[in-house]
Every structure is written in structure tokens, then in C-alpha cells.
Amino acid sequence: MSFSSLGVWTVLMVVVVLLLSLLIGNILRHFIPALKKTLIPVSVLGGILLLIISTITYYCAGEYFFNLPLFGGNGADGHTSGMNVLETITYHCLGVGFVATGMRSSKKKFNKKRAGEIFDSGVTTVNGYLIQAFVGLAITLIAAYLIHTDGLISAAGILLAFGFGQGTGQALNYGNIYEKDYGFTGGGNFGLTIAALGFLVACIVGVIYINVMRRKGQIKIVEREKGNSLSDYEDENEISVVSSMDKMTVQIAIVLAVYGASFGIMYGLSALIPSFTNTLFGFNFFIGVLLTIPVKAVLNKLYDKKIIKKQIVNNFMMDRIGGFAFDLMIVAGVAAIQIHLLASYWGILLILAVVGALVTLFYVNFVCKRKFGTYRHEQFLAFFGMLTGTASTGMILLREIDGTYATPASENLVYQNAPAMVFGFPLMFLATYAPTNDLSALITCIIVGAAFVVLNLVLFRNEIFFRKRKRAEAVAEGESSGEEPAQETAEPVESETQTDGEE
């Protein structure tokens, strides 16, 4: 091997350029007040800068920036092209980020009310995916029937739920599956573009919402206090920061070991079910998160038996690993978009983005007004940011009006993942059934719509079922005791008023 070969430097140079774009994006946000006010994440801004450079390079030199010889060329010389490296980074950072988040330990216990709010948060998240998938499928089903765009499949609209609802990594995963297995030309780029548009929707609509509500006097901007105590960075009885092995090295080793084990599981299962290979490897993030559960259980047993006397996992560092992975995932995903592959899709992409933004906006606002009344604006910004960008986008918007995280909105965003996975995971398999043919796309659209209705019955269970049952029980008790109907219903009416006030 010759270390002077450009192939040796391909991956490193791609990462260097991605990180430089993040630094430049951060500098631009610092010195350009208008950019700072938009709340566009630095990772998105850096990705857009690279996308602009890459597109100009393509139309001037006939090749995208990351396919230049410095980054391995276009693959003709046997080296991996820079564009492929970008997609690989996006794919793996998704899994690494989720594993790091899943490895965080939590000793917090919630009362019945808070547990109910977290459950409702998870159901709301899944309903957000479902309504996006439903309208997305409806749009592309109609488009495929009326317009007959070359390369477009009728199930393409379901990528709205992945691009808006779950971000760059999942949009690329499923877009690539549709491209390789179902003939969706430019499917990966289609998904990446939806994700990029989702980030812009989150920031633009989020900023407008904040300004409108602030003018109405319904919210106010609160600065976040910086943590200065040691407890902000580590818990009691943790391993030393520096010893024979650096503490950060330990955290990275744990995350990559779990992620490596997820590869072993996916590889083994794909050997048993070859036809399911692409789908299995599309769930790299989910299998990684599932593996964190037994890993944490084993660590807790070892702590209890005093076999391991010091806490190994540090939540602050796990957050930093996850943050780095998601930042790199987003900037790489946006930079990987190839504009020329989307030439015939722009009309559909814009319709998906606008309709997806509107239905998400109205649905999330409807839910937050009724289920999170005392902190509806904070919860709206957290949910809307997450359901159009990522969880970090939701936190960015939330921080503008709840800088100290005084409301439960930030906790709901973190802990909703458990109920969301329980309800949402089975439905994700529909995404691999939908592109089979036009009929399967239509059936999937109907199933998704039905699931949305059912889960809304679950979400609004108290308002629909329990309140009516309490009224009926009160009336029945009144009749048996011979009391007047007005007296019979007094208590339920009062209870209803209190419930509405709390919501």
C-alpha cells in the first residue's frame, strides 16, 4: 500500500470537509444575525453550503464536488467515490447516534400523571408519522396515476414520514431500498431531499410560530442558564476521567461494541432470510437500540453484585457522542443530494413538503392544545421540530421559549421513544410492502389511515371513553338513590371543567 495514494485519504478528506463546513456554518450564524434568528441548525447550514458547492461543481465541471479525484473520483478507478462515502457516513451515524442515546442510564421515576403524558407523547409521535405517511402516499398515488413521471413509484410518498418524521438517515435507508429493489429512480436522493426540506420547514414555521405567539403575549423568550456544577457532567461513583484508559475512550468503545454486535445480528439473520437483507440492514438503528437494553441490564447486575464498583457509562459523554453522530449524519446527508436526479420530481417534492408541513402543523397544534394545555406552546415546538426535522431540532425550538427546561416538554421528547417504538415499529414493515405494486401502495395507505384513527382513540381515550363512563355511572347511582338529575350530574360536570383546565 502506498500512503500517497488518494484512495488512502478518501474517507478522511470527506470527514475533514464535513467538519470544516460545520465550523464555517457556525461562524456564519455567529456573524450574520439574520441566520441566527432563523434557528437553522449548523449541521443543516453546513450541508446546504456543501450542496451549493457540489451542484455548482457539477454544472461547471460535469462531476459533483465529492466525486472529484481528491475524494476517490466517481468510482471508475476502483476506489469508493466521495458521494458513496457520504451515504455510508449518514447510514452509520444514524445507528451510532441511536445506540449512544439508548445507552444513557436513567434513574428517574414518574408519577401516574407524568407517565400518562409520556405515553401520550409517544402515541402523538407515531400519529405524526402516520398522518405524514397517509398524505404522502395519497399524493404520490394520485401523481403516479395522473402524471406518469418516469421512475416515480406510487409508494414514494411514504418517504415523507421518514424524511420529515425520522430524519436524514431513515429517509436515505428506505429511499435506497426503493431504488435498488423496486426501481424508484433516484430514491435515495428523493428521501434526502425530503429530509432537507423538513429541516427548513421546522426552522421557518417554528420561528414564525414563536414570533406570532410572542406578539400575542402567549409566550416569552427565556435564556437558558449554563450548568457549572460537576453533577451536570457526571454522576456519583463514576470511573475517573483520565486513568489507564481515557473515560471518553470507554464510552466510544461501548457504543461501537454494541453497534458492531447489531451488525452481527443483521448479518446472521440476512443469511437465514436472504430476501429480507436490505430491510434488515435498514433497521440498523433499531436493532442497535434494542441491544442497549440487555447491555444496560447486565451492567446493572454487575453493579449490584459489586463485580464492577464504578459506574462506567457517563450520560453527558453519551449525549456528546450522539450529538456528534447526528450532526455528521445531517451534514453528510444534505451534502449527498444529487440535484440532477431530482429534475422530474421537484413539483411532487414541493407538494409533499407543503402538505406535510400543514398537516403536521395542524395535527400537533390540535393535540397539544387538548393534551398539554399548561405548556402547549413548549410541547408544540418540541413535537413540530422533531416531526419535521429531528429530536435535536425540536430541542432547538423549545430552548427559545423554555431555556431552563422548566416545563416537562423536554422530558416528553426524550422519554417518548419507548412507547413510540412499541406502537410504531410494527407499522414500519408496511414501508417494505407498499412499493411492491400500485395496489399494495393503496392498501398500505388505507391501513395507515385506519391505524391513525385507532391510535387517536387511544390518545384521546379519557375524553372519549372514560368521561362518558363516569357520567353514566353517576347517573345510574343517582337513579338508584332517587336523587334529582341535576344533582346527579353536578360532580361529573365539575370534573370535566377541571380536566379541560388542566389540559
pLDDT digits (tens, 9 = 90+) for 90-142: 999 988 988 998 888 766 677 788 888 889 999 999 999 999 999 999 999 99
CA angle 398, 403, 404 (to 5 degrees): 120
* Other CB atoms within 10 Å distance of the CB of residue 340: 11
Contact 42, 326 (CB under 8 A): no
How high is the pLDDT of residue 80?
59
C-alpha to C-alpha distance for 332 and 336, rounded to whole angstroms: 6
Backbone angles phi, psi at 311, to 5 degrees: -65, 130
C-alpha to C-alpha distance for 484 and 475, rounded to whole angstroms: 10
C-alpha to C-alpha distance for 393 and 300, rounded to whole angstroms: 32
**Nearest of 249, 203, 184 to residue 392 by alpha carbon:** 203
C-alpha to C-alpha distance for 261 and 2, rounded to whole angstroms: 32
C-alpha to C-alpha distance for 266 and 278, rounded to whole angstroms: 10
Instruction: Identify any residues that bridge with 238 across adjacent strands, giving them in sequence order.
Output: 311
C-alpha to C-alpha distance for 396 and 319, rounded to whole angstroms: 15
Residue 383 CA neighbour count, 13 Å, CB half? 34
How high is the pLDDT of residue 228?
55
C-alpha to C-alpha distance for 328 and 331, rounded to whole angstroms: 5
Q: How far is CA 116 from CA 123, 367, 372, 423, in A?
A: 11, 14, 11, 15
SS3 readout for 448-472? HHHHHHHHHHHHCHHHHHHHHHHHH
pTM comes to: 0.80
Q: Which amino acid is at 150?
A: D
C-alpha to C-alpha distance for 135 and 194, rounded to whole angstroms: 14
C-alpha to C-alpha distance for 408 and 121, rounded to whole angstroms: 11
Tell me whether residue 290 is exposed, middle or buried, using C-beta atoms within 10 angstroms of its C-beta: 0 to 12, 13 to 18, 19 or more.
middle
CA angle 175, 176, 181 (to 5 degrees): 105
With a cut of 70, list the residues of the chain below it in pLDDT.
Answer: 1, 73-80, 106-108, 221-233, 467-503
**Nearest of 184, 176, 177 to residue 140 by alpha carbon:** 184
How high is the pLDDT of residue 285?
82
Instruction: Identify any residues that bridge with 311 across adjacent strands, giving them in sequence order.
Output: 238
C-alpha to C-alpha distance for 497 and 503, rounded to whole angstroms: 10
Which parts of 147-186 fold into alpha helices (H)?
Answer: 159-165, 168-182
Q: Which amino acid is at 458?
A: V
